[in-house]
Amino acid sequence: MMLVFKTIPSLHKKIKSLKLKNKTIGFVPTMGALHEGHLSLIKKARQQNDIVILSIFVNPTQFAPHEDFEKYPRTLKEDKLLAEMCGVDLLFLPDTKIMYGSSPLTEVIVDPALTRTLCGKSRPTHFTGVATVVAKLLNIVTPDKMYLGQKDAQQAVVIKKMANDLNFDVKIITCPILREKDGLAMSSRNAYLNAKQRRESSLLYQSLKKARQKIKTGEKKSKKIIDFIRENILNHTHGKIDYIACVDADTLKEVKVLRGKVMVALAVKFGATRLIDNIIVNT
């Protein structure tokens, strides 16, 4: 039976008792509105650990004032059922007061080299909020392994760097993107799309796949790959491009010539809904 915890001391007490029994802990941090992508992380954690802990917390510090914090989907009843069905042992459901107290003074600032590119260009405060809440969650849960999704690739790189720099004793595992039948990366924000936007959004992954083929057949200039994706999106959808970039998959530095392990990433808005996606190409 899944146990639910809403306070840090009660969760700490349980985790200490499990560690005294030498139980390994896998942790999946989420903001809820669970979908198959989240469930794949839970299943991987279930395979690799004795105990699986899931957190659901819509973190206000990673949303800018003009973003969708208030509208972000909250489906707690359904999330609880899905979590238990997938084998979650402990569910952590803190509120903002529990996580941050009444007057927080400390936050985690990540190297700007990792955050001023890609999503960080248009969301300059986002990764400070992400790094801070994940650091707090790691301190609370003290897992052996934590599971993240490749869809949020920049977030995964930032969190790995933060955990390494701050000496967290945790192994961070990045799991593949899960997609809908038409290729759209699974995301809680997909629920915002109307029927037309949903149809057009499938072109994002189609464009990335075609770009991968161009790279595999010899195109090494990032500008040509970016221009190809931009033209494909602008000619066939009503989406507004935030960015299209080719970066080193480990350092996130933009590359002009595609060599080694490269990530081709994009962010496109359909109406008010901002979608992100990426592929990794070994050149």
Instruction: Kindly list the catalytic residues.
Output: 38
Residue pair 211/225 in contact (Cβ under 8 Å)? The answer is yes
Closest CA to 152 of 60, 269, 30, 70: 30
Please provide residue 262's backbone torsions phi and psi, each rounded to the nearest 5 degrees: -115, 140
Residue 277: exposure state from Cβ atoms within 10 A (0-12, 13-18, ≥19): buried
Q: Which two tokens stand for residue 276?
A: 């992100």
Please report where in the chains the tokens 């992100």 appear, as a residue.
Answer: 276
H-helix segments, the chain:
8-20, 36-48, 76-85, 96-100, 112-115, 119-122, 126-141, 153-165, 195-201, 203-216, 222-236
- Mark residue 148 as left, alpha or beta (left: phi above 0; alpha: psi -120 to 50; beta: remaining): beta
Residue pair 4/83 in contact (Cβ under 8 Å)? The answer is no
Q: How far apart are CA 109 and CA 96, in angstroms?
A: 20
b/e code 46-83 from CB counts within 10 Å (16+ = b): beebebbbbbbbbbebbbeeeeeeeebbebeeebbebb
